[in-house]
Every structure is written in C-alpha cells, then in structure tokens.
Amino acid sequence: MKEIRLLLADDHPVFREGLQAVLASAPGIVVVGESESGSGALERCRELRPDVVLMDIHMGDMNGIEATRQIVTAQPEVGVLILTMVEDDESVFAAMRAGARGYLLKGSGRAEIVRAVEAAAAGEAIFSPRIAIRIRGFFQGQRSAKGAVFTDLTEREREVLDLIAQGLSNPNIARRLSISEKTVRNNVSNIFSKLHFADRAQAIVRSREVGMG
C-alpha cells in the first residue's frame, strides 16, 4: 500500500507533538513536515508535496481556510482536512467552499483521525459526527424552507413550478410527471394566478430566488 505523506499545520507546538505521537503508530502514514502558520503550510506543501494536510483554522498570518483555498488551487491532488475546535456553520461551509475534503474537531480519537486521513488520501470526504449532524440539519432546513414557500400552491403545482424553474417546457413537464399537457397548462395557469406572475420568465426568476429549480 502506498505510504500517505502527511503535513501538520497548527500554531500550537504541543498539539502538533500530540498529533505526531498519535499518528506515529499508524501503519502507512508518515508525517513529512509541520507548519505553525497558513503561509508556512503553503510553502511546505510546495516543498514536500504531501498527500494530506491536517489544517487548523485560526493561525497567525493566514487562516486555515484561506490556506486551504490556495493549496487546493495550486495542488488539487492534495487532500486538506480541517482539524479545529471551531464548529460554527460559517466556518464549516467556508472550509467546504475552499475545497477541504473533511472537517474534524479537536478531541477526535486516534481511530477517527487515521480513518479521516486515509479517506482524504483516497479522495473521499469525511466529517466528524457532530459536523455531519450540522451539515445534515442545514440541508434539511433548506428543504423545509423550500417546501414552505408559495404555500398557496398544491403539491402538484409546486412540482410543476419547480420544473418551470429548471427551464422545462410544458411538453417536457408533462413527460416528466406522466400527465397530459392540458393538465400542465391548467397547473401553470393556476400558479400564475395565485402568485401573480406576469409571464414564464418572472416565474423562473421568482422561484429560483427561493431555491426551486
């Protein structure tokens, strides 16, 4: 099995030493370098070409999210795992947008960290259980919010509007929902009447604004 080359980026030397100790006995993983800053992590990545970086968020000159963004842009083959005490939604989703392959919380056990490093090296995404719950809750909330808009519409009318938002024509909507074109036209007429849409273009814009389509 190919050896996984790991870089540690954290501004607390004691924590880095602890990680070294935790990972020392992990078969197939070797720590090739360390950094105490985001900019240092960028430099070490260029020098060492690691497979995975364990990255803290709050570091002196450059935070871990910006460092992640720059590393992934320059070396997309590197898997960056966030390892931090921060678990607010803004940080979690900022890290995901920056290209992190996972998000772990400090205090994770050895087995969880090792499994996450192996997953990131294999190109997979992995999250601490508490972070996974937050992500799932966020998207469940998004679905609930989407279902709550345009409450005057029937379930079928919402389905038709969602397909309108995707840019589908009436014949295509009819085929997608296995209903007649006349039924689609009736639903479209009801939607426009209830929501006071002037035309299809307005229907698309307004429905996409609330996450449909």
User: Which sequence spans correspond to the domains of the chain?
Assistant: 4-130, 145-209
**pLDDT tens readout for residues 91-103:** 888 888 899 998 9
User: According to CATH, what is the number of the domain 145-209?
Assistant: 1.10.10.10
CATH class, 4-130 region: alpha beta
126: three-class secondary structure by DSSP: strand
- Location of structure tokens 């519409």: 153
58, 68, 103, 107: which is closest to 83 by C-alpha? Answer: 103
173, 164, 170, 167: which is closest to 195 by C-alpha? Answer: 164
Q: What is the pLDDT of residue 40?
A: 94
Confidence band for 180, pLDDT divided at 50, 70 and 90: very high
Q: What is the pLDDT of residue 41?
A: 95
**pLDDT tens readout for residues 189-200:** 999 988 888 888
Query: 101 to each of 92, 119, 145, 156, how far by Cα in Å?
Result: 11, 9, 27, 38
Q: Which letter, b or e, does each residue of 176-213 get, where b requires 16 or more Cβ atoms within 10 Å of its Cβ? A: ebebeeeebeebbebbbeebebeeeeebbebbeeeebe
Residue 62's Cβ-side half-sphere holds a number of Cα atoms within 13 Å equal to: 18
Q: Which long-range contacts (CB under 8 A, 24 or more apart) does 13-20 make?
A: 15/106, 19/54, 19/113
Q: What is the pLDDT of residue 14?
A: 93
Q: What is the pLDDT of residue 211?
A: 77
Q: What is the pLDDT of residue 209?
A: 77
**pLDDT tens readout for residues 101-139:** 989 999 888 999 999 999 999 988 888 887 877 777 666
